[in-house]
Amino acid sequence: MKKFLFGASTAAAAMAATVALADQPVNWQLGFQEAATPIMEQIRWFEQYTLWFIVPITLFVSALLVWVIIRYRASANPVPSRTSHNTLIEVIWTVGPVVILLALAVPSFQLLTAQYNPDEEPTMTIKATGMQWYWDYEYQADTEEEGTVNFSSIMLREGDRAGLGRENLAEYPRLLAVDNDIVVPVDTTVRLLVTSGDVIHAFAMPSFGVKVDAVPGRLNETWFRATREGLFYGQCSELCGKDHAFMPIAIRVVSQELYDSWRAAAAENLGNANRELMAALEGNQEVADAGN
């Protein structure tokens, strides 16, 4: 019955012709990754907003330093001024920075508040536990019918690519791909509980604007709502030991129909659920490429 439901949802999703893309770092990237959540959109806006202050101030201070060096060098100014103060200048360099800091502080506090206060009640909860050097995930069962889903997510080994159907390096890059992705539905507010089973780790997903420490004995909470489907990569961002660099995070965002089918199947057999989900997504890609 579950296979029938999964097949039906696969066909419906294929008709929608959605294409799952992978968001990951690129060579020579200078800016943030493309936003996949409302919070990351605000972070990207705030970064661009601050540049309108940072760039003019940097250029002004640099020009002022050059002017002072040239104008008041010893050869051009053998008798230095003995001026001790200037009231107008002191007012300007006191009031000016205060105004600038206020202009930065107000949107900064608004963004900080939004990061910890979702605009709607989360509809699902995932617990992420950092371990040396992998992640354990637990899906909280909201109803008795859902069942609990628990699994470990380990960096994909090169020898395991063929067996897991993850040979496409563009979608499953070296050192970022994992054997088991977190799967969540699109346009759904997800509560993320983060902790650690040994040392301090950090759960970071750049496209989501999420970065939270995983501390032993402490449960930190954050949230996200992905607004587009795809496969998104992050990493542990706290130095946690010799294999810190080999502790990636992968979140796959899919349609609600595909997620419901995956969740039902994953409660019984995670491997089969992942294979069926990937087959469904590959079918979507083929339909999209055909122009249907």
In sign, the C-alpha dihedral spanning 60, 61, 63, 67 is: positive
CA neighbor of 285 nearest in space, from 21, 12, 3, 4? 21
SS3 category, 221: strand
> What six digits make up the tokens of 141?
């069962």
Phi-psi region of 209 (alpha: psi -120 to 50; beta: other; left: phi over 0): left
β-bridge partners, 225: none
What are the DSSP E strand ranges found in the chain? 22-23, 124-131, 134-139, 149-153, 182-185, 190-196, 201-205, 210-214, 220-224, 230-236, 248-254
Half-sphere exposure of 273 (CA within 13 A, CB side): 22
pTM exceeds 0.85 for this model: no
Query: Would you state the pLDDT for residue 77?
Result: 86
CA neighbor of 178 nearest in space, from 197, 152, 198? 152
SS3 category, 81: coil
Hunting for tokens 């032993």 — which residue is that? 216
Query: Would you state the pLDDT for residue 7?
Result: 46
Query: Would you state the pLDDT for residue 16?
Result: 38
β-bridge partners, 235: 204, 248
Query: Would you state the pLDDT for residue 14?
Result: 39
Domain 2-27+121-289 in this protein, CATH class: mainly beta
Listed as ranges, residues in the chain with pLDDT below 70 are 1-21, 143-146, 284-292
CATH number of this structure's domain 38-116, picked from the four choices 2.30.30.240, 1.10.150.120, 1.10.287.90, 1.10.150.110: 1.10.287.90
**19: Cβ–Cβ under 8 A, 6 or more apart, which residues?**
284, 285, 288
Measure the CA–CA gap between 287 and 215, rounded to whole angstroms: 44
CA neighbor of 150 nearest in space, from 128, 124, 119, 122? 128
Same fold, 2-27+121-289 and 38-116: no
Query: Would you state the pLDDT for residue 81?
Result: 81
Measure the CA–CA gap between 286 and 161, rounded to whole angstroms: 21
Query: Would you state the pLDDT for residue 84?
Result: 83
SS3 category, 240: coil
Maximal CA-CA distance, the chain:
94
Query: Would you state the pLDDT for residue 186?
Result: 95
Half-sphere exposure of 7 (CA within 13 A, CB side): 4
Q: Secondary structure of the chain: what % helix, strand, coil (to 5)?
A: 40, 20, 35
The domain locations on the chain are 2-27+121-289, 38-116
CA neighbor of 185 nearest in space, from 256, 135, 130, 99? 256
